[in-house]
Amino acid sequence: MTHALAVEEQTGTKILYGVGTEAQARDAVTEIASKGISVIKIWVDDRGGSQEKLSPELYRIIINQAKSHSIQVFVHQQYATDIPDLLDAGVSGFLHGRLGSDLTDSIAQQLASSGAFVVPNLGLGELRREAVGDDLFLQETIPASVARRLSVAAGQRQAATAINAERERQRERELSESFTRLIAADVNVILGTDAGAVPDHFFGYTGHRELEIFVRLGMTPMQALIAATSKPATSLGLQDLGFLKEGFSADLLVLDSNPLDNIRNTRSISRVYLSGKEIDRESMRSRFTN
């Protein structure tokens, strides 16, 4: 929320819309459509009872109004029990929803049948607990002061987690079981980020971690790589990204080791190309670490 408000101030572009009535919902979508925006993200989450959750009546108005302007609607949702009605209302994708025992086989099948995508953001919980500042792969691109701050913060969170060790183990079991349901049902699971959810949340780094978790929980390395490349592009309707083929933007990594042998080999980066031009990684590394 704080990050979005800062971006609004910097760019002069309205990002956050609060709606409490049907008229406000319709007016918000109309204003968004007038700006040529192609995607709306709605928030269906009561934050553990601390705030009012967007009602089905209002989100159905938003979704229907968005459809009339050919705008896709994605949803920030935390509870699997909200998924069936959101699918029925017509959302196209689910962002960082909580996976757990409430995500039943029936809901997984409904997700698969709808074609909606799911961005699970499984790494967020692990990154909160781990001393990622000690990871040499990340240290290559951050100042030493940031690495130390990350390690200290992780130590504090690890101490708190240890107190609730059994609850954490149960959560991990439920996470694994629900992810298995998604894969078994052939749900369109794709890799994505959650901006601002964790302090010093480095998107590129967390993407590698997310791939590793996908494989640990049951995906093959090839499935994980597809979830990070062609599937997101297709899900977002991007016509020139996600594939290595003629006519597509040449955005790619060249690796020294095969990620199909070990998904952690996505870290063995030799070269990076953006729009067909090689990125000067040494120059960027020097700028980021000093």
Q: State both tokens at 160.
A: 């708190």
When pLDDT is averaged across residues 38-50 and rounded to a whole number, the result is 90
- The pLDDT value recorded for residue 256 is 98
Residue 261: inside a domain? no
SS3 72: strand
Looking at residue 164, which CATH number applies to its domain?
3.20.20.140
Residue 25: inside a domain? yes
Residue 36: inside a domain? yes
- The pLDDT value recorded for residue 1 is 60
As a whole number of angstroms, the distance between CA 151 and CA 233 comes to: 34
As a whole number of angstroms, the distance between CA 119 and CA 213 comes to: 13
Residue 67: inside a domain? yes
Per-position DSSP letters for 208-247, written without gaps between them: HHHHHHHHHTT--HHHHHHHHTHHHHHHTT-TTSSS-STT
Q: State both tokens at 37.
A: 């925006």
As a whole number of angstroms, the distance between CA 46 and CA 40 comes to: 19
Q: Count, in order, helices (H) and strands (E) of the chain.
A: 13, 8
109-126 confidence digits (pLDDT tens): 999 999 999 998 887 666
Question: Which range, of 92-96, 170-174, 205-209, averages the lowest pLDDT?
Answer: 170-174
Asked if 150 contacts 200 with a C-beta cutoff of 8 angstroms, the reply is yes
Residue 217: inside a domain? yes
Q: How confident is the model at residue 161 (pLDDT cuts 50, 70, 90)?
A: low
Residue 6: inside a domain? no
Sheet holding 269-274, edge to edge: 252-255, 269-274, 277-278
Among 121, 125, 96, 99, smallest CA distance to 177 is for: 99
- The pLDDT value recorded for residue 2 is 61
Q: Return the CA Rg of the chain.
A: 20
197-249 confidence digits (pLDDT tens): 566 667 788 889 899 999 998 999 999 999 999 999 999 999 999 999 999 99
Asked if 285 contacts 269 with a C-beta cutoff of 8 angstroms, the reply is no
Q: State both tokens at 184.
A: 């078994």
What is the extent of the structural domain holding 28?
15-242
pTM, rounded to two decimals: 0.88
Q: How confident is the model at residue 40 (pLDDT cuts 50, 70, 90)?
A: very high
Among 131, 109, 129, 111, smallest CA distance to 120 is for: 111
When pLDDT is averaged across residues 53-60 and rounded to a whole number, the result is 96
Residue 250: inside a domain? no
Residue 169: inside a domain? yes
When pLDDT is averaged across residues 257-274 and rounded to a whole number, the result is 97
- Total tally of structural domains belonging to the chain: 1
Residue 98 has pLDDT above 80, yes or no: no
Question: Which range, of 15-19, 62-66, 75-79, 95-99, averages the lowest pLDDT?
Answer: 95-99
Q: Does residue 150 or residue 40 have the better pLDDT?
A: 40
Residue 101 has pLDDT above 90, yes or no: no
Q: If you average pLDDT over every residue of the chain, what do you get?
A: 88
